Structure 1
Amino acid sequence: MNTFVNQLAYFGFFQSFFLLCVYLFSAKNRKNINGYIAFLIFVLFIGLSGRVLYVSKLFEENFRLITISEFAILLFGATVFLFTRSSLTNQRFAVRDLVHYIPAIAYILFVVFYFMIPSDEVIVARIRRGELYSVVNILVGIGLTFNCTYWFLSLRQFLRFRNNLKNELSYTLKTQFFLNFLIAIGVCLLVWIGMYFISLFGPETIEQESRKFIWLGIAFIILFIAYYGMIVPDVFRIQSFNLSQKYSQSKLSHKDLDTLKTELEDMMADKKPYLNTKLMKAELATMLGISNPELARLLNERIGMNFFDFVNYYRIKEFIALAKTDKAKELTFFGLAQEAGFNSKTTFNKSFRSLMGTSPSAYFSKEV
């Protein structure tokens, strides 16, 4: 089993080295990959280098080489969070972001002074007293807590971003690949937590042995993401939108809102802007002659819907009207939905069921 793990470590090490070289020496690929992903690869390179140096016996089997892998532990979670934030908001790196790495620096210094600098005699004495294993368990617990916290922050930011888009867009962005990345990392962390608690009340070696596979799992997830990001550079380039500011300063009176509601409904019926599959709230606000925040207030206070549901409400009405024409004989339900402005079958089905309380096929079977 150790041979297999060592082979995987070698593979991951050379793969991360290769990707770093591509990033450093290829201007084209440097533009295609997020800088935080490149740093994640560097973190993995550090984490895997300790084990590679140890098992290769270039410097004999010096246990201190394994501790080099510990340098990467607290760098990982913060970088995943900053990568998530930059992908969703296009927020570039700023000096203040270095604060996220202060715990990692403190952690690395402790590892150096506690594990690497002391003599063999001091380390052996700590092992005999049981002190070393206690310290390792504490450090692993700190690492898990730190990484899980940043993972939750990353997931929360992603879910909040996806939910906020419903106030700006009338269509669904393809964000599943990004979500799958976070889920895969989360599964690895969950398994690691399980093994850690088992080791606290059982054999100490359980967590130590499983940690090798968990870290390799995380490594290959990130290496795959980096490689795929180079091949399909738009996979993590989620378009950034300026979400509406609060409309508390809006000067529109209640009478103005009532008038605008009538104008909006007339415009939706006459000009049918919802037929634009990529319609954004900012575009609709311009057509109505008001600001984006003012349209947000109008939808909230007079329509009672977010932008996504409001536009798709009209698309569903258009779909039902089309389904009663001769076009229904030539097109499938989704074909008609596309004619009505939908660009996603999933969005169409969810919107139809939410509005009509049933599926399109069930709805029209009742009509017959």
Structure 2
Amino acid sequence: MAPAHSFPVAFVTFSFNLHSALLLPFAVQGVLAGGALWGRGRRDESLADRLLGVFLVVLTLSVGQWLLGYAGWYDAHDAATTLMFYVPWMNGLAFGPLTFFYFRALTDQSFRLRGRDWAHFIPAIGIAALYPAAWLVDVGWHHLVRGEALPGHFGTKGALADWLQSLGWLGPLTYVSLAVYGTRTLRAYRAYQQYLDAQFSDTAQLRFQWVRRALLATMGAAALWLGFDVVQWLGVSLSFDELWFAYFGTGALIYYLSFAGLQAGSSGRPALLFQPAIAEATGLAGQMPTTADTVSAPTALAAATTAATTAPEIAEWIPRLLQLMIKDEPWREPELTLADLAHRLRVAPAMLSKIINAGTGQNFNDFVNAYRVAEAAARLRDPAFRHYTLLAVALEAGFNSKSTFNRVFKKAKGLTPSEFLAEPAA
């Protein structure tokens, strides 16, 4: 008879069946993508990549629990089964902070996790630490040192593992955390879009539309989980096979986040320094006019200079700005930023932003693109440029891509470049 403090080890146990086989690719993808993102983050000193890598690994752990369960680890009644009770497979309290700080790091290359930021991770770290602590007491002390048999699940589970499974309040707390951090991230995302319009003339590669889609997909997965949990809170017992679909949905989320995250490398992008707290404190959103309020062509700037609401110190800068735009044509440079233009005008970027906002009723992006659209429209009407392709016209006018050209041109003219070209000249 084996001594009381020993049990067989069979970690190689893996039973292939429909449920485990369908979850396995998700788990492999999550581990590989998480590792790749962490490695790229170390190489490129990208905190955003490292945070997304951690997010994927934590998400993969939740799928791993069901994967290994269907692979036979719960029924092995050995050390593999014991492991199932002492790993923090589901740590939903980590998802909210990881999501928010990933977005912060993605949009501000100077951002680093500091003292107060780490406080957001205390609940998740605390929950994760309970599992190895429980193993040390149940298995390490009571079973291996004192030689006591583990009391639960065929001699594989200790008393503290039972207590960990009784923490039912973690579920509702996880959903509250996701709602709070998800809302905070979406609000920061909206402010970031305004920051782009105020700072950059070409924003196509900086919009990070996939981040919004990824956040909505994550919230959708959380809603799926909430549906299953509500059913169980109402007293309906769901089988493992029924709950499996929630883990399959989580696996699909792993695939989407891993591919999108790996494609979102920081190389080739200008430095971003978006700070949502400062944007809110300075009223950035209030300074940004809506599309309906913007002026559609540079020729309307002269009227704006005499507006009664324009402060004298701002009004005196407007002719200098207009002269610079006409003489030097900086708008032909696709990567032109507010800081670049401010340097040429010899004025602080914040002051230039006020000059453009108050003097023209436009944000920086619309102001610069108005010149580009006017130039493109003139070339499209000029017979001397009939041999130019639309892409050639776009590049000559300062646009960085045809897709951006089409979007901005239609926003200003109400027609695509092709439709504008087909219309007879007025």
- TM-score when scaled to structure 1? 0.77
Aligned to 1:99: 119
Is 1:178 matched up with 2:197?
no
CA contact (8 A) 1:148 1:189 kept: no
What letter is aligned with 1:87? L
CA contact (8 A) 1:168 1:281 kept: yes
Choose which of 19, 23, 28 in structure 2 pairs with 1:5: 19
Deviates more, 1:201-210 or 1:303-312: 201-210
Give me the whole-angstrom Cα distance separating, in 2, the residues matched to 1:22 and 1:359: 41
Give me the whole-angstrom Cα distance separating, in 2, the residues matched to 1:247 and 1:78: 25
The structure-2 alpha-carbon separation of the partners of 1:348 and 1:22, relative to structure 1 and needing over 3 Å to count, comes to closer
Aligned to 2:55: 40
CA contact (8 A) 1:89 1:240 kept: yes
Aligned to 1:144: 175
Gaps of 5+ in 1: 122-131
**SS of the residue 2:347 aligns to:** coil
Aligned to 2:222: 189
Give me the whole-angstrom Cα distance separating, in 2, the residues matched to 1:362 and 1:225: 34
CA contact (8 A) 2:221 2:249 kept: yes
Deviates more, 1:112-121 or 1:93-102: 112-121
What do residues 233-280 of structure 1 show as CA deviations (whole Å, max 9, x unaligned)?
A: 4379673146798599xxxx9333222111111221222110111111
What do residues 12-67 of structure 1 show as CA deviations (whole Å, max 9, x unaligned)?
A: 4445555566678x6x7741562212322442454345445544435448588267
**SS of the residue 1:342 aligns to:** coil
What letter is aligned with 2:237? E
CA contact (8 A) 1:74 1:103 kept: yes
Give me the whole-angstrom Cα distance separating, in 2, the residues matched to 1:236 and 1:272: 24
CA contact (8 A) 1:51 1:65 kept: no
Q: Following TM superposition, by how much is the alpha carbon of 1:74 offset from its aligned partner in structure 2, in angstroms?
A: 1.6
What letter is aligned with 2:123? P
The structure-2 alpha-carbon separation of the partners of 1:274 and 1:336, relative to structure 1 and needing over 3 Å to count, comes to same
Aligned to 1:295: 352
Is 1:332 matched up with 2:385?
no
Choose which of 157, 180, 185 in structure 2 pairs with 1:154: 185
Choose which of 255, 263, 266 in structure 2 pairs with 1:234: 266
Aligned to 1:129: none
What letter is aligned with 1:171? D
Gaps of 5+ in 2: 1-15, 139-149, 154-163, 285-309
Q: Following TM superposition, by how much is the alpha carbon of 1:167 offset from its aligned partner in structure 2, in angstroms?
A: 0.1
Higher gyration radius (CA):
2
CA contact (8 A) 1:70 1:111 kept: no
Deviates more, 1:204-213 or 1:70-79: 204-213
May I ask how many residue pairs the two structures share in their alignment? 349
What do residues 315-340 of structure 1 show as CA deviations (whole Å, max 9, x unaligned)?
A: 11111221232343112334312211
CA contact (8 A) 2:390 2:402 kept: no
Aligned to 1:214: 249
Give me the whole-angstrom Cα distance separating, in 2, the residues matched to 1:15 and 1:268: 50
Give me the whole-angstrom Cα distance separating, in 2, the residues matched to 1:7 and 1:197: 28
What do residues 269-294 of structure 1 show as CA deviations (whole Å, max 9, x unaligned)?
A: 22211011111111111111211011
Identity within the alignment, %: 22
Aligned to 1:254: 311
What letter is aligned with 1:266? Q
Please provide the CA RMSD for this pair.
4.0
What letter is aligned with 1:264? L
Is 1:68 matched up with 2:125?
no
The structure-2 alpha-carbon separation of the partners of 1:192 and 1:45, relative to structure 1 and needing over 3 Å to count, comes to closer
**SS of the residue 1:218 aligns to:** helix
Deviates more, 1:197-206 or 1:99-108: 197-206
Give me the whole-angstrom Cα distance separating, in 1, the residues matched to 2:215 and 2:116: 24
